[in-house]
Amino acid sequence: MLVQQESNSFAFRPSTLRDFTIHRSDAAAAAVEGANSEFHGAMQEIARRGGTAVPILHAHALPGGVLARDDFAALVRLVVDSLAGAGRLDALVLCLHGAMSSVDEPSADAALAEAVADAAGIPIALSLDLHANCTPRLCAPATVVTGYKTNPHVDLAATGARAAALLCAAIRGTFVPTSAIAMRPVILPDESLRIGDGVLGDVLDRVLAAAPASVVDVSVFPTQPWLDAPGVGFTAHVTAHDDADAGGVLADRIASEVWRRREEFVVHNLAPPAECLRRAAASGMRPAIVTESADAPTAGGSGDSPALLHALAEAGLRDDSVVLATIVDGGAVAACHDAGPGGTVDVRVGASVDPRFHAPFPLRGEVIRTGGGRYVLGGAGYLGLGATMGRFAVVRIGPLRLLVTEQPAWSADPETWRHAGLDPFDADVLVVKSCTDYLANFPVTGPSALVADVPGPCTPRLSRLRFSIASPAPWPASGGAAMPESPGSP
């Protein structure tokens, strides 16, 4: 069973059940066949071990604001009813994100796990995103817990398979899981959390070199930094075979070392947007990448920030260069479809969903393509996952090819651009709204990406955040009023 959405407490609008793509039973298995998904990985591993994998529910949504009150209640009912209809089960692999929140329940994933445990009454393996708010409450209903080992995330199927393998071993008695958690009240910008290099990779390499043989799984959860919920911070979770003491010591070493080195998790290559564009164009790389992570839809942003569009005029890029960027604006898409390919549009785009940070951008250009429909992601992280950006249009303004969409686009995935008739690898400058996903899909130029220093609900400047639920407020943020609620919030 997979039920996933990552919540951003500073997003402008609450999420609803309509944001989820929902498949049940055999349709759920068919929806992720061959995909890099925990659901698919768990089913394959169960079958490989001679068991019968029963697909129950696959409910997935892009990150967004906290779930509205009635919608979270409806989601819980959907989960419980789906379990009841699955028949007799011996055990359950439950794939959550770990950072879902609702208006009434800031720790929504923990409440969901409790509801599943009460309804199922069987051993549970819990698989989590690396950005989970991994608290003792979230883990308590589970027999085993494991999370992604990569950032950007490319091991989704492997994580599901590992959760299933650990659970099978536990229920067959060949593995006695003992778990330990260590937590520290610190949030870290996602741009600095690459595993394999950087500070976090160095911490793990040093500490795990001395891990005893009894340790079976080590998962770290730096959390979703824009989540205002109880217990938000860094968590190290260690599972050992019948050895709680070893797990506790190791988890504490990891968490203590991250806390000690917290000021080293800084975002390099952070610059004003016009400077980012100029430096990218002059870099000689193709595509040179500029990321507006503060508005990343995969972190809860609305995808409608026009900050980089405003900066293009200041950057003064040559008309014979090619810059690709994307923005959400349903009204502008409608105007483009009315004009049709070859027509001219004169509209204002951006800040159509979240007007708090930027003014709309005056867009006058030639519509070169329109379209819509669903497509399949092809990047290393979410390979095989179905996606849509609603209707779209591509507008040409000098060097810019602007992809205007009705729904947020996965701009870090090359197939998004190809679906719109554009090839990101042919661009001189590629603007993505992403924190780290682009690194897996553009491995040559991604590591040199420039981060636009602009405000937004997913800002990498975490000291700007104000938390009202988390206590203590995690470093480097502080307590106080969070960003204002949007009009019409429950």
Q: How far is the CA of 164 from the CAs of 5, 15, 217, 350, in angstroms?
A: 21, 30, 13, 44
In a domain, 311, yes or no: yes
Residue 329 lies in a domain: yes
Answer yes or no: do 134 and 187 share one domain: yes
Same domain, 332 and 256: no
Q: In which band, very low, low, confident or very high, does the pLDDT at 490 lie, cut at 50, 70 and 90?
A: very low
Q: Closest by alpha carbon to 237, among 195, 162, 181, 184?
A: 181
- Which of 143, 140, 147 lies closest to 177, judged by CA? 143
Residues 178 and 246: beta-carbon distance below 8 Å: no
464 part of a folded domain = no
* 297 and 368 co-located in one domain: yes
38 with 96, same domain? Answer: yes
Can you tell me the distance from the alpha carbon of 137 to that of 140, in angstroms, rounded to the nearest whole number? 5
Closest CA to 168 of 36, 33, 35, 53: 53
pLDDT at res. 486: 36
pLDDT at 487 over 80: no
Q: Are residues 194 and 59 in the same domain?
A: yes
- Torsion from C-alpha of 314, 316, 317, 323, nearest 10 degrees: 20
Residue 469 lies in a domain: no
Mean local confidence (pLDDT), 28-49: 96
**Residues 257 and 201 occupy one common structural domain:** yes
For 95-130, the pLDDT digits (tens) are 999 999 999 999 999 999 999 999 999 999 999 999
- End position of a domain, from candidates 205, 239, 264: 264
Number of domains in the chain: 2
d(CA 434, CA 382) in angstroms, rounded, equals: 14
Q: Does residue 165 sit in the same domain as residue 296?
A: no
Specify the pLDDT at position 481: 52
Separation CA 300–CA 62 (nearest Å)? 8
In a domain, 111, yes or no: yes
Q: Cα separation of 44 and 33, whole Å?
A: 10
Nearest to 376 by CA among 32, 90, 92: 32
- Per-residue pLDDT of 324-344, as tens digits, reads 999 999 999 999 999 999 999
List, in sequence order, every beta strand (DSSP E) within 421-460.
429-432, 450-452
Domain's final residue, options 236, 264, 292:
264
What tokens does 60 get?
């997935």
Residue 256 in tokens:
């203590």
Total Cβ atoms within 10 A of residue 13: 17
What gap in Å lies between CA 175 and CA 154, rounded to an integer?
27
Give me the chain's average pLDDT, please. 95
In-domain check, residue 467: no
User: Higher confidence at residue 316 or residue 291?
Assistant: 291
Quote the CA–CA distance of 44 and 432 in Å, as a whole number.
33
Give mean pLDDT, residues 173-180. 96
Q: Please report whether residue 76 resides in a domain.
A: yes
Distance between CA atoms of residues 324 and 16, nearest Å: 31
Question: Are residues 254 and 389 part of one domain?
Answer: no
Both structure tokens of 47? 């079958």
Domain shared by 225 and 313, yes or no:
no
Residues 53 and 117 in one domain: yes
Expressed as residue numbers, the domain containing 344 is 270-459
Name the domain boundary from 211, 246, 264. Answer: 264
Q: Examine the domain organization and report whether 57 and 140 are in the same domain.
A: yes
Task: State phi, psi for 292 to the nearest 5 degrees.
Answer: -100, 75
Q: What percent of the chain has pLDDT over 70?
A: 98
Point out which residues pair with 7 in neighbouring strands. 64
Q: Residue 254 pLDDT > 50, yes or no?
A: yes
Q: Residues with Cβ < 8 Å from 80, sequence gap 6 or more?
A: 115, 116, 119
256 part of a folded domain: yes
Q: Are 211 and 348 part of one and the same domain?
A: no
Task: Name the β-bridge partners of 60.
Answer: 4, 21
pTM across the whole model: 0.94
Q: What is the pLDDT of residues 425-475, one digit of tens each?
A: 999 999 999 999 999 999 999 999 999 999 999 999 999 999 999 999 999
How many other C-beta atoms can be found within 10 angstroms of the C-beta atom of residue 236? 28
